[in-house]
Amino acid sequence: DAGITQSPRHKVTETGTPVTLRCHQTENHRYMYWYRQDPGHGLRLIHYSYGVKDTDKGEVSDGYSVSRSKTEDFLLTLESATSSQTSVYFCAISESYKGPDTQYFGPGTRLTVL
Amino acid sequence: TQLLEQSPQFLSIQEGENLTVYCNSSSVFSSLQWYRQEPGEGPVLLVTVVTGGEVKKLKRLTFQFGDARKDSSLHITAAQPGDTGLYLCAGAQGGSEKLVFGKGTKLTVNP
């Protein structure tokens, strides 16, 4: 199994509070991704990173920011959480520099915003 | 706009039956991947197909990439309860680093 961990695994927070989710990898892969998974919508890309300090938006980036200061860590921040951000968040990594390759997924973080 | 349409959305069958799930698009993809996801876990890659018309077999699972590289299918022979899960297709376009995922087919195989 690829070495990907996500923390926390579960979190309950209140509307308006900031939340940071962490993805940590031990594979030294270049690409890292944050997805959210919701019933009826499947997996949707929030943000991704193609190197340290290099990030770009996905299809559902509003209300989220990311940072990658080290190869191994990719942080997802909800500046002011809303109930619509209640979801399961998955981090994924990929090593290919020629385009999408196998994406290895973390175990997910279940976030509930009350 | 959902680029990849998966059907059926839900499928409940008895052990030993055969089934096919589909992943369709009006767009061309340079490759298509199939993932399986079990409850409480992240998706795990089953196969990648890259050539139009390509067929790959993984034990009882057969994957096919359409000739025009716009669609794919997954056929399971003699389904077993261990095949239960959410099957996701994902496509890559051109030189993009990103994958587009379908919404998934939730398969339940009853003993």
Q: How far apart are the first and last CA of chain A?
A: 34
- Nearest-by-CA chain B residue for A38: B103
The alpha carbon torsion through B30, B32, B33, B39 (nearest 10 deg) reads 130
A102 to B48: CB separation less than 8 angstroms, yes or no: yes
Q: What is the pLDDT of residue A17?
A: 96
> What is the pLDDT at residue A84?
96
Note whether B30 and B69 are within 8 A (CB).
yes
**In 10 A of CB A20, how many CB atoms?**
14
What pLDDT does residue B86 have?
96
CB contact under 8 A, B97 and A94: yes
Q: Report pLDDT for A11.
A: 97
Residue B57's pLDDT is 96
Contacts with B90 from chain A: Cβ below 8 Å: 43, 103
Beta strand B61-65 with B71-76 is antiparallel
Residue A2 confidence (pLDDT): 66
Count of CB pairs separated by less than 8 Å, A with B: 60
Residues of B in contact with A68 (CB under 8 A): none
Chain B positions in Cβ-Cβ contact with residue A105 (cut-off 8 Å)? 42-44
Q: Which residue is closest to B105 within chain A, CA to CA?
A: A42
The answer to whether residue B97 neighbours chain A at the CB level (below 8 Å) is yes
**CB–CB contact B45 A31 (8 Å):** no
Return per-residue pLDDT of chain B as tens, 111 residues.
558 999 999 999 999 999 999 999 999 998 899 999 999 999 999 999 988 999 999 999 999 999 999 999 999 999 999 999 999 999 987 767 788 899 999 999 999
Cα angle value A53/A57/A58 (rounded, 5°): 135
- One digit per residue, pLDDT tens: chain A, 114 residues? 569 999 999 999 999 999 999 999 999 999 999 999 998 888 999 999 999 999 999 999 999 999 999 999 999 999 999 999 999 999 999 886 555 567 899 999 999 999
